[in-house]
Amino acid sequence: MPEAAANEGYTVLARRYRPQQFADLVGQEAVVQALVNALASNRVAHAYLFTGARGVGKTSTARILAKALNCVRGPTATPCDQCEICQGIAAGEDVDVIEMDAASNRGIDEIREVRLTVRSRPSRSRYKIYIVDEVHMLTPQAFNALLKTLEEPPEHVKFIFATTEVQKIPITILSRCQRFDFAGIGTVRIVERLRQVVAGEAREADDEALELIARRAGGSMRDAQSLLDQLLAFGGERLTTDLVHQLLGTAPDERVIALASAVLEHDAAGALELLGQAADEGLQLGELLEQLLDYWRDLMVANSAGGHYPHLNLPVRYHETLASQAAALNLDTILAGLDVLSMTKARLRGSGHPRVLLEMALVRLSRLDDLVSVAQLAQMLNERVGSAGASGDARSSAATPPRPPVSRAAVPPEGLKKKQLTGDEPSRAESTLPLTPDTLPQVWQQTLALLGQMHASDLQKAGQPAISGPNALVLRFPPSYNLAQEHCQTPAKMARVEEVLRKITGHPVVFRIEAAASTASPAAAQAAEDEEKTPSRYQRQRAEALKEPMVKRAMEVLGAQLVDVDEGFATASTPVSDRVGAAADSEEA
């Protein structure tokens, strides 16, 4: 196999292991079959155009085809590889097979010469074969020169063009070529080939290490082989996964999983800590982002495929972890996560602050679950509209629940199932009370009861909170209670309230405290829920809703649009006289 290794000391692996026969071409079976058939039936075209990504075997195929046509024992689909012609072509030195690179400066001149030389007979072979690499780089003049030749090709001439950018080839040229599209090569096939190369070099490598290389090469056999070449040159007894990560500046899978797990457990601080460590150790942050993208992609596949997923990036031994994480997530949440990551990738290009961008992505990801997906929003909206229609009076929605809270509790919203991972939830779903306008008073009462007297009495000065978005509560303190508000607003106490809310409702709830803008009664927020939805009031609500950080985030992260403002989105600044509800009337005046 290593045919040229001896001559010049060292030849790169990709060249030494360049396929010499059609049967050696990995992952291009359709192309090979068509060419073999053409040779067998003596219907080889005058001009071929090979298109496809870099390193998928276009030039190798061109050389094999040239050997097949010119071999002393040919034309044949299995050139001998022994005759002078076969060996000359394999080495790129045959007089009748002219290889040129249109991307090089010389290429343009060479193509002009083609017109002059094309008429002369091949010196020793059947055909004069021109192999033009990166043919899309030709100037319009050069294409014109080429076209004249292609229009009336002499019998003894064959053209093989290769390009990575077929869309740049003029249609006049395209229409005179037989085109073959080379596919990207699958990871499994690349690993197989790398394994052969490692064995051929009398070296050893972990399968996982080879998989890693193949994945990095993204379908390009040449890239995979040159990566392997570098890694083998680095030495070491055995090529291990750790060594590959170390040399590539990528994070071991365990670290990517740890990072993903922190994010999925809403532990933004933990995720940032892990990122900090990775950065300190000199890991490439761009690579880390790619790895996270791969991980989220795997989550998506595992979630959608339901137990059967042969094409995951992650090695098999992690599949169980991945599957349990994926099962606890809602597909929309995973997709939103992929959006966040790919948006970050786009921003990362040309940015001088990769770390900040990655940190932002991690914090966003760890909060994704708080932002109910667009689908869920739509569902909630539909339920609300349905219940308002059924009761015939939107005002009475608080008194007539859309559905008995019990039935909702039994089936927690899908996107919020992931708490199972954190383990601090009530063990039985039935014991939770999901947050809705109907359950709000009860939820808040239970929250206060669990918080302890001091904290609860401070919070009570603000009355009852209002629902300010999906799974979000806002509590407004009247100006006279600045001190109580300050007490309640420490990060520890805020976190404590969110923790208790989560225990009671069974899903994450965002809790915020604000100062009321006017002197309206503290309980106005709750009462506003019962108000008439007059157009002006509705517009005011809309405007306020758009100012809500929660809503802004939903629009930014999920690409959501404000469709409707819910009755529950009440504000303390609403004139008290508008109110119809009776619940808080005693506090007025």
* Residue numbers at the binding site for Zn ion (CB under 5 A): 71, 79-80, 83, 86
- In 489-582, where do the E strands start and end? 510-515
| Beta carbon nearer to Zn ion, 80 or 268 | 80
Burial call 269-290: b when 16+ CB within 10 Å, e when fewer: ebbbebbeebbeeebbbbbbbb
Burial call 470-499: b when 16+ CB within 10 Å, e when fewer: bbbbbbbbbeebeebbebbbeeebeebbbb
d(CA 474, CA 513): 6
**Helix/strand/coil for 292:** helix
351 φ/ψ angles, rounded to the nearest 5 degrees: -95, 145
Q: Per residue, what are the HEC states of 44-92?
A: CCCEEEEECCCCCCHHHHHHHHHHHHHCCCCCCCCCCCCCHHHHHHHCC
- Comparing CA positions, the residue from 207, 174, 172 lying closest to residue 190 is 207
| Beta carbon nearer to Zn ion, 49 or 71 | 71
| Beta carbon nearer to Zn ion, 96 or 458 | 96
| Beta carbon nearer to Zn ion, 91 or 103 | 91
| Beta carbon nearer to Zn ion, 86 or 362 | 86
Burial level of 239, CB count in 10 A (0-12/13-18/19+)?
buried
What is the nearest approach in angstroms of Zn ion to the Cβ of residue 37? 20
Residue 120 CB neighbours (<10 A): 11
What is the nearest approach in angstroms of Zn ion to the Cβ of residue 130? 20
What is the nearest approach in angstroms of Zn ion to the Cβ of residue 82? 6
- Comparing CA positions, the residue from 53, 23, 311 lying closest to residue 184 is 53
| Beta carbon nearer to Zn ion, 85 or 145 | 85
| Beta carbon nearer to Zn ion, 88 or 469 | 88
What is the nearest approach in angstroms of Zn ion to the Cβ of residue 129? 14
**Helix/strand/coil for 205:** strand
d(CA 318, CA 325): 11
What is the nearest approach in angstroms of Zn ion to the Cβ of residue 79? 5
Residue 48 pairs with which residues in a beta bridge?
A: 160, 178
| Beta carbon nearer to Zn ion, 78 or 391 | 78
What is the nearest approach in angstroms of Zn ion to the Cβ of residue 78? 10
What is the nearest approach in angstroms of Zn ion to the Cβ of residue 71? 3
C-alpha distances in Å from residue 103, one per residue of 132, 136, 163: 10, 8, 10
What is the nearest approach in angstroms of Zn ion to the Cβ of residue 73? 6
| Beta carbon nearer to Zn ion, 90 or 239 | 90
Torsion sign, CA atoms 96, 101, 105, 107: positive
Find the farthest-apart pair of alpha carbons in the chain and give their distance in angstroms, rounded.
Answer: 109
d(CA 314, CA 335): 18
d(CA 316, CA 310): 9
What is the nearest approach in angstroms of Zn ion to the Cβ of residue 64? 11
Extract the tokens encoding 277: 């460590």
| Beta carbon nearer to Zn ion, 89 or 335 | 89
| Beta carbon nearer to Zn ion, 14 or 86 | 86
What is the nearest approach in angstroms of Zn ion to the Cβ of residue 75? 11
- Strands 97-101 and 510-515 come out as unpaired
What is the nearest approach in angstroms of Zn ion to the Cβ of residue 321? 54
What is the nearest approach in angstroms of Zn ion to the Cβ of residue 156? 18
Extract the tokens encoding 151: 């229009």
| Beta carbon nearer to Zn ion, 71 or 198 | 71
Extract the tokens encoding 196: 């052969």
